[in-house]
Structure 1
């Protein structure tokens, strides 16, 4: 068998005649099946990317149930456990903007496979820390390994998102929605599977080595299915190019707010639910509802956003307003049913914001330029900015919220932080507008 014995269909999947003046697909294109339009390689590429999103994010969330217990048993603190768990997200976010800029020189295939290998090696290596008994050594080495794993995750996520944009340009809304839903499934199943494996052996080897082994098959699969192994020589697409339009700047700001709001539901929301008298199992059920509704709604929004820019923008703003205002359902005396409804609405509205925002960002960035519809550098830069925005939001807002929690009611805290973030996004967009006007006048 050769390197790849499937058809060499390298042309991006774009139906240029099916684009109207606003860049949305006409009814004729909407009736065409994504699966029918795809060649053999792309039909295999879709499940590869989707299964990769599921497995990778399942693995990254798997230590959540037992890491704190493990550190406390060794004489450590909850803060040390939190750093070990969250450092992966931080290094992933920081590295993503670098990979987004320089991916054109190494190709998405090389970046994705290298990221997967680094991610897997770090996952398996962490399991052998079970033999390290000294707390200081354990914490230092654990932070180093998880930091490197975050860099691998950053490379993988940037490359995977770029490949989706490149290969399925005319169906970005659909494939991105499904991809996001599988990421949510991974986050939901990861803690359950990780906790189960840890409870079986009560050591790090089993959960980390076994789950790391799930990622390994993705490497040869990617080597066979992915193309574009040669270096790219086209000019880079800068960070400023992605956010130069005021609309793009606001959308990126809204993504930061949404990711932060989702993180608040997971981190501060858990404490709030416990304070209302819910058990640990009921709190877990509430978080499961949020992830589940986000998963389902992401697929639904993925199909809806392709119907035109008007409905996409309306859904985005309605979801953003509803996500912020919906926090007021969490009153101090709220019933369990009301809390679960609020958690479900949080998943639904956050899905609407993110899916619509990503599709709109591509629409604004590409405009009516046919060459940009398959521009590798543009997709690479956009992927890096997108993942950075998600990571910053998920890291910063929960951190601020944890410091302010207890000084005001949960609903005022969460809605206030998200409203303040949205206001900052509007200011950011206005600054970009002024800069654009000054540039035009000069």
Structure 2
């Protein structure tokens, strides 16, 4: 597969036949593409580390300020809701706003909100503190959503022939942000107090703003008349969105319930639980570049990866507890292995999804360009946020009324249903194409020769 054979920011259709038949060796990334990759990677890393830094210490501080456990959960949950709403709106108007401006503005807003969050401990306890937490956290979600969504669109625009490969590389930095956020935040909090973690990371993100102003290319585009509604009229788009939902719901479920299950079942300390939970993101970031490479080199395997990833996730969740109907004794080594399997299944499913959504838009007849990429990015972010909001809430309810084992089985069932629906849809489409070809051949054979 030729890499970047044409100008990366073109809006016109490329000649696929010429590209396929070209014998020129693949070109290396240009300086502009490398700088863009560094810029987007830094945004992913900074955004995810700021997102995950609250976990180790903020709930304790919030309780001291008069917030209940339910309110603390809502403060975390409002992030996903705000991100969902903003992604749909900003994804629709990314051309009018400008992808570069949206990324930089989102980065600036998120960095300011992170710094402001570091001073909330000085707010009066009770309703004022709680209200400020909701406001600042919601604004941070809007900035985060704008930065990451425009980063997706810019990546797909600059690297049109290597979307999955570049996504796999970028997911390494997003995963590192999620991994380093909790321990870095906890260490800064214990060493310097509540303010320093937020001030340090907020100022770090603020420094990145002028860097991105200089590095990121300006992308000119024409607004499209297409809409999210038309994109969702395609059955395959709906099925892919359901897969996105199951992935994020599973991650959200584990974030909210796994630590307590491991502590109660195996008597582990919080430190050991943190090490165990690193298994999933570590496997994910190691497997993501590999999945991206194969997805770009063999585009026909995207559906196979989605189906296989769904089946692997089903096995992982069912053996995580394990499921009560399997009559297998719960063991720590099995839990660790299944977390690794779930991480691998995420890499198999997450990386091909964005190119597959772009393919769905192309099949419907969406115009190529930044406007379509913005809507695809917005839809992806919105569905992902829906899953992260659903997973902890519904998973927590099932754990409370039944058990962690049964809640994990439900997550596995959602993943299996997504894999099954994608497989059946692909099978039906293949059968339909074969029938069309057979009918066409029969018609040609019946046509009399002149």
Q: Work out whether residues 224 and 371 of structure 2, in 8 Å CA contact, stay in contact via their aligned partners in 1.
A: yes
Deviates more, 1:405-414 or 1:260-269: 405-414
Show the 5 A alignment for 1:143-182: 143-182=134-173
Distance 1:323 1:421, change over 3 A: closer
Shift of the alpha carbon at 1:97?
0.8
Q: Look up the match of 2:325.
A: none
Q: Work out whether residues 61 and 187 of structure 1, in 8 Å CA contact, stay in contact via their aligned partners in 2.
A: yes
- 1:63 matched to 2:54? The reply is yes
Q: Look up the match of 1:436.
A: none
Q: Work out whether residues 79 and 138 of structure 2, in 8 Å CA contact, stay in contact via their aligned partners in 1.
A: yes
Distance 1:207 1:313, change over 3 A: same
Q: Work out whether residues 161 and 383 of structure 1, in 8 Å CA contact, stay in contact via their aligned partners in 2.
A: yes
Which of 410, 414, 437 lines up with 2:408 in the alignment?
414
> 1:170 aligns to what SS in structure 2?
coil
Q: Look up the match of 2:121.
A: 130
Q: Look up the match of 2:92.
A: 101
Q: CA RMSD in A?
A: 3.0
Shift of the alpha carbon at 1:122?
1.0
Deviates more, 1:264-273 or 1:156-165: 264-273
Shift of the alpha carbon at 1:393?
0.6
Distance 1:236 1:122, change over 3 A: farther
Q: Look up the match of 2:108.
A: 117
Q: Work out whether residues 45 and 176 of structure 2, in 8 Å CA contact, stay in contact via their aligned partners in 1.
A: yes
Give the structure-2-normalised TM-score: 0.84
Q: Work out whether residues 100 and 382 of structure 1, in 8 Å CA contact, stay in contact via their aligned partners in 2.
A: yes
Cα distance in 2, alignment partners of residues 109 and 190 from structure 1? 26
Deviates more, 1:310-319 or 1:346-355: 310-319
Cα distance in 2, alignment partners of residues 53 and 328 from structure 1? 31
Q: Deviations over 1:200-249 (max 9, x none)?
A: 1222x21111110110122112211223366x543243112333321121
Show the 5 A alignment for 1:43-442: 43-203=34-194, 205-228=195-218, 232-277=221-266, 278-331=268-321, 333-367=329-363, 372=367, 374-420=368-414, 423=417
> 1:216 aligns to what SS in structure 2?
helix
Q: Deviations over 1:376-431 (max 9, x none)?
A: 11100000000111111111122101011143343332232452476489889999
Distance 1:424 1:357, change over 3 A: closer
Cα distance in 2, alignment partners of residues 342 and 14 from structure 1? 45
Distance 1:202 1:26, change over 3 A: farther
> 2:119 aligns to what SS in structure 1?
helix
Cα distance in 2, alignment partners of residues 430 and 305 from structure 1? 21
Distance 1:291 1:14, change over 3 A: farther
> 1:65 aligns to what SS in structure 2?
coil
Larger Rg computed on CA atoms: 2
Cα distance in 2, alignment partners of residues 199 and 13 from structure 1? 51
> 1:212 aligns to what SS in structure 2?
helix
Deviates more, 1:251-260 or 1:405-414: 405-414
Q: Work out whether residues 78 and 137 of structure 2, in 8 Å CA contact, stay in contact via their aligned partners in 1.
A: yes
> 1:91 aligns to what SS in structure 2?
helix
Q: Work out whether residues 118 and 198 of structure 2, in 8 Å CA contact, stay in contact via their aligned partners in 1.
A: yes
> 1:169 aligns to what SS in structure 2?
coil
Give the structure-1-normalised TM-score: 0.86
Q: Work out whether residues 330 and 338 of structure 1, in 8 Å CA contact, stay in contact via their aligned partners in 2.
A: yes
Cα distance in 2, alignment partners of residues 138 and 315 from structure 1? 46
Q: Work out whether residues 13 and 167 of structure 1, in 8 Å CA contact, stay in contact via their aligned partners in 2.
A: no
Q: Deviations over 1:16-41 (max 9, x none)?
A: 45x479x9x78968x625xx1x3322
